Amino acid sequence: MAEIEIEKKNPIWPWILLAILVIAALLYFFVLADDGTDDMDDMNTEQVYDNNAMDNETADYQDAENMRYVALINEYDTYINDPQMGLDHEYANGALMKLISAVDATANELGVDIESDLEKARKEAQSITEDPLKVTHANSIKDSGKHILTALKTIQTEKFPDMSNAYSEIDSAFSKIDPGKETLNQKMEVKSFFNKVSSLLNSMK
Amino acid sequence: MKDEKNRSLFYLDELSDYKVKSGDPDVRGWHVKDKDQRVIGKVENLLVNKNTEKVVYLDVEVDPSIIDANHKPYSGKAQGGVHEVMNKDGENHLIIPIGLVNLNHDEEVVNTNEITHKTFAETKRKRKGSTIDREYEIIVLDSYNRNDTKYPEDDSLYERDEYDTKNYRNT
């Protein structure tokens, strides 16, 4: 037994809505996929950007390296001109170490090999802290300074031949330091030496 | 006669938002056979009462054998001299009240176990898709029943046995 009845069709709008949603989902998917591609592009771009950034960083690093010797020279200047520092052995030792670093960086920047001289200068400067007696006399400055002067002469001769006068002034100032006298008793000579070196290094910037 | 606005009988395909209820047979396309198992046509459409949401008539495109029989349509009123009803060219559809058929689901055949080929041939036909009005309904019922029944003017007509689906019989 069967009765033939009719019924209202299911409203079509849910299907339309579903179709729209499916289409929207597909569009979203493809747009997302495109976005993914874009992202890839962006990533590539970013990578390029990063590379540029890296290049920039490298350049910055190079610049930083280039500027390092300038900074060390400035640091040396600041140190020797610091009014808070007394012209005692500690001051002399600090000044020598900073001077060695500044000369080393300058030589590296200019491509001059003075490492052996500076190595000797460092050893002499380090010995100041190991031998308390040495720190009381200017011989510590003389022992270390002569190697520094050798290095400076090399730089000046190779890269700044027109600065021979400036070097001569350093040499002259250096010769006035008496290794047998206490540093405190020849403040002017020591300070003059450090200043002359500072002047030359600043001329090499 | 009901006007267009108040009519309750519709071809199912007029009601785009309706369909045959799920689980009920959609007999469109099924062959219709007379009591002698002769094919008298094919169900082309369903006439439904929109108020009760039930199929009331099968709209049948008749077999050429019905037309070729060239019988004069039966009409009780015509016989009474009120007016003559004749089948014209192109009128090849007739309706069968749902209560007068039973369904062979296996063979997808609509059987009319109480109506002969001759009766169908003598039934007034309409053109495909013609509006079915009460006058035609009465003419058709008169043709199938061949008695002097006075049919109600309102929808209580569809409470008669000719529309009662308990008359379905599976064959």
Mean pLDDT of chain A: 77
Q: Which residues in chain A are closer than 8 Å to B15, comparing Cβ atoms?
A: 6
Query: Do A5 and B18 lie within an 8 Å CB cutoff?
Result: no
Please report the sign of the dihedral spanned by the C-alpha atoms of residue B110, residue B113, residue B115, residue B121: positive
Q: Which of B75, B20, B9, B64 has its CA nearest to residue B42? A: B64
Distance in angstroms (rounded) separating the CA atoms of residues B75 and B124: 8
Mean pLDDT (whole number) for B149-161: 86
Please report the sign of the dihedral spanned by the C-alpha atoms of residue A120, residue A125, residue A126, residue A132: positive
Q: Which domain covers residue B40, as residue numbers?
A: 9-167
Contact B132/B126 with Cβ under 8 angstroms?
A: yes
Residue A141 maps to a domain: yes
Residue A103 maps to a domain: yes
First-to-last CA distance in chain A? Answer: 110
What tokens were used for B46?
């369903």
Query: Do A4 and B170 lie within an 8 Å CB cutoff?
Result: no
Confidence of residue A1 (pLDDT cuts 50, 70, 90): very low
Q: What CATH number should be reported for the domain holding residue B82?
A: 3.90.50.10
Residue A117 maps to a domain: yes
Q: Which domain covers residue A99, as residue numbers?
A: 69-203
Residue B42 maps to a domain: yes
Q: Which residues in chain A are closer than 8 Å to B169, comparing Cβ atoms?
A: 1
Residue A73 maps to a domain: yes
Query: Do A5 and B21 lie within an 8 Å CB cutoff?
Result: yes
Q: Which residues in chain B are closer than 8 Å to A2, comparing Cβ atoms?
A: 24-25, 103, 105, 165, 168
Q: What is the pLDDT of residues A60-118, one digit of tens each?
A: 666 666 677 888 888 888 888 877 666 666 777 788 888 888 888 888 888 888 888 88
pTM above 0.80, yes or no: no
Q: How many domains does chain B have?
A: 1
Q: What is the pLDDT of residues A143-165, one digit of tens each?
A: 888 888 888 888 888 888 888 88
Query: Do B53 and A7 lie within an 8 Å CB cutoff?
Result: yes
Query: Do A7 and B21 lie within an 8 Å CB cutoff?
Result: yes
To the nearest whole Å, the CA of B30 is away from the closest chain A CA by 14
Q: How many domains does chain A have?
A: 1
- The closest CB to that of B103, out of A2, A6, A8, belongs to A2
Helix (H, G, I), strand (E, B) or coil at B104: strand
